Amino acid sequence: MSRVKGGTTTHARHKKVIKAAKGYYGRRKNTYKVARQAVDKANQYATRDRKNRKRNFRALWIQRINAGVRAHDEAMTYSRFINGLALAGIEVDRKVLADLAVNEPEAFAAIVDQAKGALAA
């Protein structure tokens, strides 16, 4: 049986890494050894930050809800509002609540009133 050399496979693997490193600075974009390290680190950051993005958006939604609640009723806080929603039996997630607070203040005000009524009862 004849010997098989791996040049084609190696070239394809190197090309894949170099393509992923496109746009990097210096030797990171065109030297395989350095590019592989840069691409590996970039993939670690990407994996980590997919989780962080979810945290960041939730924090943003909470800030927007809190601002909307305080604009409607200065005495009410975010945590009391969420408690009022639970007591009123309203199951709307924070993403939708934040969107309502920004884009439809009248609808959000109605929800705040319902939460306030549930807290008072």
pLDDT digits (tens, 9 = 90+) for 55-108: 999 999 999 999 999 998 888 999 999 999 999 999 999 999 999 999 999 999
For residue 105, the tally of other CB atoms under 10 A from its CB is: 14
Quote the longest CA-to-CA distance of the chain. Answer: 86
Report the pLDDT value the prediction gives residue 53, as an integer from 0 to 100. Answer: 97
Q: What is the pLDDT of residues 5-58, one digit of tens each?
A: 889 999 999 999 999 999 999 999 999 999 999 999 999 999 999 999 999 999
| CATH architecture of the domain with range 8-120 | Orthogonal Bundle (1.10)
Task: Indicate whether this model's pTM tops 0.85.
Answer: no
Give the pair of three-digit tokens for residue 87.
Answer: 């007591």
Taking the CA atoms of 76, 79, 80 and 82 in sequence, report the sign of the dihedral they define.
Answer: positive
